[in-house]
């Protein structure tokens, strides 16, 4: 019989699974707490569970594991980047960053990515599969255990397109908020713009922040760097973003990677101001990370571009670059490991 991935089960599912083994509801609650509060990685560590039940558990379930294949610690800030090996031999990346307000973790949601953004290293190594909820949770639990730091906030901005793995991501978020130590108010989900899924996510009212990777203010320019724009045009994306804000009350954070000579000029800033006019939103400017295979160069006009947006009435900041010395940008480590 194939064993079940116990860490991916919601409390309700665990109660049902244990009921089938003749166990009471409170046992399921105890086990759930061992898994998600104490974060044990072996059934033997569940010391208030009888040996008999622990044996039964190990016959029917397994606790998902990730192995740290590589661990890089930045010399300039306290960023730690993990390359995890999954139990099928695939690799994913997780980055732990330290900010004034606490520790933040950036996790992967898929092995590789199908979206094909031209500037992104995650696409290069190819798409393999979706991650299970347990594999997303374990990226956080293991980083906490290894570093001894408590994780206060979370961004789904590592390898993969979170909304292309929608059901597992939602299940993961629900597992995360089932305990008290992480409010979904401190979680950001980043998308290249899967419009249909943005509506679905809005309706779930999870309380998360939605980051939208915009990177260009016009269809022509956006399509030339992001193939998703051929499926969902900017106008449709903007409608979905407005719906997200109106439904959840959470303002959208637009990601905008500034690329030298591509989207960092006055014309681009004017078009962006026009596009986002009247929206209660935030623009996060990112000097593009130059990847080995890429032709895109980092913009030298980041501050100037920011000022143009601010002068036009937009809320804009430049993202701090952390872990630059350890290739902390998404997909770079997995790609280098090939
Ligand atoms: N697929 C999701 C989340 C993963 S990418 C998305 O597209 O949003 C996380 C963020 O990093 C996105 O905004 C993405 O466009 C950006 N990104 C990818 N490669 C980059 C690079 N080389 N330089 C700067 N930002 C990059």
pLDDT at residue 332, rounded to an integer:
65
Question: Could you read off the pLDDT of 199-237 as tens digits, one per residue?
Answer: 999 999 999 999 999 999 999 999 999 999 999 999 999
Task: Determine the Cα–Cα distance for residues 284 and 76; give it in Å rounded to an integer.
Answer: 22
Query: Ligand 1: which of 157, 229, 336 to mutate, judged by most atoms within 8 Å of the beta carbon?
Result: 157
Which protein residue has the closest C-alpha to ligand 1 atom 10? 157
pLDDT band at 100 (very low <50, low <70, confident <90, very high): confident
Average pLDDT, rounded, for the chain: 93
pLDDT at residue 77, rounded to an integer:
86
- Cβ(194) – ligand 1 distance below 6 Å: no
Task: Determine the Cα–Cα distance for residues 302 and 196; give it in Å rounded to an integer.
Answer: 32
- Cβ(329) – ligand 1 distance below 6 Å: yes
Residue range 83-95: mean pLDDT, rounded: 96
Residue range 68-74: mean pLDDT, rounded: 94
Ligand 1 centre distance from Cα of residue 299 (Å): 16
pLDDT band at 338 (very low <50, low <70, confident <90, very high): low
Residue range 33-62: mean pLDDT, rounded: 96
Look at the block and give the residue holding tokens 């000579």: 261
Question: Could you read off the pLDDT of 109-132 as tens digits, one per residue?
Answer: 999 999 999 999 888 878 999 999
pLDDT band at 328 (very low <50, low <70, confident <90, very high): low
Task: Determine the Cα–Cα distance for residues 46 and 178; give it in Å rounded to an integer.
Answer: 19
Question: Could you read off the pLDDT of 155-171 as tens digits, one per residue?
Answer: 999 999 999 999 999 99
Give CA torsion, residues 232, 234, 235, 239, to 10 deg: 80
The one catalytic residue in 93, 135, 161, 255 is 93
pLDDT band at 75 (very low <50, low <70, confident <90, very high): confident
Identify whether 93 is a catalytic site residue. yes
Task: Determine the Cα–Cα distance for residues 191 and 113; give it in Å rounded to an integer.
Answer: 12
Quick check: 2 pLDDT over 80?
Answer: yes
pLDDT at residue 336, rounded to an integer:
65
pLDDT at residue 331, rounded to an integer:
64
- Cβ(255) – ligand 1 distance below 6 Å: yes
- Cβ(157) – ligand 1 distance below 6 Å: yes
CB 271 within 8 A of CB 263: no
Identify whether 120 is a catalytic site residue. no
pLDDT band at 72 (very low <50, low <70, confident <90, very high): very high
Which protein residue has the closest C-alpha to ligand 1 atom 13? 213
């Amino acid at each position: 019989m194939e064993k079940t991935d116990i860490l991916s089960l919601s409390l309700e599912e665990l109660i049902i699974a244990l009921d089938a083994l003749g166990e009471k509801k409170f046992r399921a609650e105890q086990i759930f707490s061992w898994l998600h509060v104490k974060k044990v990685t072996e059934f033997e560590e569940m010391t208030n569970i009888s040996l008999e039940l622990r044996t039964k558990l190990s016959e029917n379930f397994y606790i998902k594991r990730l192995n740290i294949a590589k661990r890089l610690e930045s010399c300039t800030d306290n960023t730690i980047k993990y390359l995890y090996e999954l139990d099928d031999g695939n690799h994913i990346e997780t980055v732990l960053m330290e900010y004034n307000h606490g520790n933040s973790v950036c996790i992967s949601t898929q092995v590789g990515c199908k979206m094909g953004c031209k500037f992104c290293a995650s696409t290069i190594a190819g798409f393999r599969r979706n991650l299970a909820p347990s594999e997303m949770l374990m990226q956080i639990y293991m980083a906490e255990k290894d570093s001894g730091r408590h994780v206060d906030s979370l961004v789904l901005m590592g390898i993969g397109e979170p909304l292309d793995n929608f059901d597992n991501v939602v299940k993961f978020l629900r597992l995360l908020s089932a305990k008290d130590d992480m409010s979904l108010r401190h979680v950001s989900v980043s998308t290249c713009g899967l419009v249909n899924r943005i509506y679905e996510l809005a309706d779930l009212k999870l309380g998360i922040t939605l980051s939208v990777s915009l990177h260009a203010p016009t269809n022509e320019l956006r399509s030339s760097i992001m193939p998703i724009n051929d499926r969902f045009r900017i106008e449709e994306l903007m409608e979905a973003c407005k719906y997200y804000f109106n439904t959840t009350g959470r303002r959208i954070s637009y990601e905008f990677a500034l690329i030298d000579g591509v989207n960092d000029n006055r014309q681009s800033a004017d078009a962006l101001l026009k596009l986002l006019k009247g929206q209660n939103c935030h623009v996060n400017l990112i000097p593009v990370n130059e990847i080995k295979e890429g032709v895109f160069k980092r913009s030298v006009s980041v501050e100037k571009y920011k000022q143009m947006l601010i002068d036009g009435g937009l809320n804009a900041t430049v993202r701090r670059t952390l872990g630059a010395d350890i290739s902390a940008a998404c997909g770079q480590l997995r790609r280098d490991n090939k």
